Amino acid sequence: MFSFQSINKYHSFLKENVDGCIIAVDHFLIEIEKKKHLNSFLEVFAEEAIIRAKELDEKRRLGKPLGRLHGVVVGIKDVICYKGHVVSAGSKILENFTSIYNATVVEKLLQEDAIIIGRQNCDEFAMGSSNENSAFGVVRNAIDESRVPGGSSGGSAVSVQAGLTMISLGSDTGGSVRQPADFCGVVGLKPSYGRISRYGLIAYASSFDQIGIFSKTVEDAALCLEVISGVDDFDSTVSEKPVPAYAAELKTTPRKYKIAYFIQALEHPGLDPEMRAKITHLINQLKLAGHTVDPIEFDLLNHIVPTYYVLTTAEASSNLSRFDAVRFGYRAPLVNSDLNDMYKASRSAGFGKEVQRRIMLGTFVLSAGYFDAYFTKAQQVRRILLNKSIEVFAKYEAIISPTVPSTAFKIGEKSDDQVAMFLADIYTVFANLVGIPAISIPMFTHSNGLPFGLQIMTNHFEETALLQLSDHLMN
């Protein structure tokens, strides 16, 4: 019986098994079928995954050089373009849209011998924290199927959680990798803004969006990160900084870290008391083990969620204007020949409620009379937050916090309360606002039986330290 623990162990298994990739793909196809009701996949590329597995087994048999992700079975969130495959962003408006090119991350995965097994369900245009905004149905948390998996990359998180893929790619604009990773008890990594190319990622808020990784272990996330990072002629926001060998760099001797935590984050009244207690206990243990862990003031905590929603909806209203039923997307049957009516009818029928709300909010904050009051003000707060992070990282290597203030909630529990839903992002949006890397690692189990994570953030492009500390804490 095949079972997946880590890419490293799988690679040892492949050395012993000439048809190892086929065994793995068959295994995952069976599991995906068995757990279909979780709704984590929108489409499974079964036939082509089998063909690819056979080719890869043959490549090993012939003794050819193997890619770093040789035979690794990967799922991709339905916002990442894969040539010749549908990419719908969880939306009716793109339901029948087929991608004509590969995202850079897809190119890189394929170059390193990965097997892409399917596209995964998500909140429409990556807007949401529960996967309830998908036009193709909610995704269920495999630990308790009456609960949400988090969002927006819920399908990708559940796939790793339920053993349906080895790793998955999601996207994180305000927490969409870390928050579902937290709810599902897996690792979720959002790298620095500019680490990974966004070419071929359907845009939500371009100055925030980053592709991220779900995995069972930190080492697998590190290996995937080094494969998909790096310069790209198609995305000028990617950094030219060389990509370290993240996985190999995990194998250094353990050291003592200088860690900070925000007092206001830990004392926030919205934080589940048991989560607070467990994280406080961890802080004490870290101190006993010789690490520096200091409390620092962060009086802007209550401003970050509003800042995030002003800026991201503004960017979204502009990004989503391209879905006009002319260049892309669903076109409603024409009642008359007026162009404005055609736009209205198509966009009203194609976009779901949450996406429409955000487009309207974004248009409002950008409108002439309100631009300075909302958009400019939010940009100023974003700069203050960046200054804060520069100040903290002058003294500390890492900031720790809860990832989300509560464990996974029930399906339907928050769908009528937007503000409550937005507050679930309170700890995650900071990293996107300032562009630093952040991770959620599954460290805890609540007395309600649900997992929750620890969030760690480091300075820009300090992914090595982020992954080393994460690996140290998880082992």
Residues in touch with ligand GLN (CB under 6 A): 126-129, 152, 171-176, 204, 312, 425
Give the other-Cβ count within 10 Å of 465's Cβ: 17
Return phi, psi of residue 216, to 5°. Answer: -85, -35
**Quick one: which of 105, 56, 118, 79 has its CA closest to 224?**
105
Return phi, psi of residue 238, to 5°. Answer: -80, 140
Q: Which residue number, 72 or 433, has a Cβ lying nearer to ligand GLN?
A: 433
Q: Which residue number, 21 or 314, has a Cβ lying nearer to ligand GLN?
A: 314
In the complex, least distance from residue 140 CB atom to ligand GLN, rounded to whole angstroms: 18
CA pair distance 245, 194, nearest whole angstrom: 17
Q: Is 449 left (phi over 0), alpha (psi -120 to 50) or beta?
A: left
In the complex, least distance from residue 248 CB atom to ligand GLN, rounded to whole angstroms: 30
**Quick one: which of 272, 269, 258, 261 has its CA closest to 297?**
261
- Secondary structure class of 474 (helix, strand, coil): helix
CA pair distance 315, 208, nearest whole angstrom: 9
Q: How far is CA 293 from the centre of its chain?
A: 27
Q: Give me the DSSP letters along 242-301.
A: PPP-TTGGG-SPP---EEEEEHHHHT-TTS-HHHHHHHHHHHHHHHHTT-EEEEE--TTH
In the complex, least distance from residue 312 CB atom to ligand GLN, rounded to whole angstroms: 6
Q: Which residue number, 286 or 411, has a Cβ lying nearer to ligand GLN?
A: 411
Q: Which residue number, 52 or 190, has a Cβ lying nearer to ligand GLN?
A: 190
- Distance between start and end Cα atoms, the chain: 26
In the complex, least distance from residue 322 CB atom to ligand GLN, rounded to whole angstroms: 18
Return phi, psi of residue 343, to 5°. Answer: -55, -50
Catalytic residue among 88, 99, 152, 317: 152
Catalytic residue among 77, 216, 388, 414: 77
**Quick one: which of 109, 85, 107 has its CA closest to 96?**
85
Active site residue 401: no
In the complex, least distance from residue 134 CB atom to ligand GLN, rounded to whole angstroms: 12
Q: Which residue number, 20 or 362, has a Cβ lying nearer to ligand GLN?
A: 362
Active site residue 176: yes
Minimal CB distance to ligand GLN: which residue?
A: 176
CA pair distance 437, 152, nearest whole angstrom: 18
Element (H, E) at 431: helix 429-434
In the complex, least distance from residue 176 CB atom to ligand GLN, rounded to whole angstroms: 3
Q: Which residue number, 128 or 451, has a Cβ lying nearer to ligand GLN?
A: 128
Catalytic residue among 129, 153, 156, 176: 176
The answer to whether the peptide bond before residue 152 is cis (omega within 30 degrees of 0) is yes
CA pair distance 420, 390, nearest whole angstrom: 30
Q: Which residue number, 72 or 202, has a Cβ lying nearer to ligand GLN?
A: 202
In the complex, least distance from residue 150 CB atom to ligand GLN, rounded to whole angstroms: 9
Q: Which residue number, 118 or 212, has a Cβ lying nearer to ligand GLN?
A: 212
CA pair distance 397, 462, nearest whole angstrom: 9
In the complex, least distance from residue 147 CB atom to ligand GLN, rounded to whole angstroms: 17
In the complex, least distance from residue 467 CB atom to ligand GLN, rounded to whole angstroms: 21
Active site residue 152: yes
Both tokens of 346, joined, read 């198509």
Q: Which residue number, 168 or 176, has a Cβ lying nearer to ligand GLN?
A: 176
Q: Is 102 left (phi over 0), alpha (psi -120 to 50) or beta?
A: beta
Catalytic center residues: 77, 152, 176
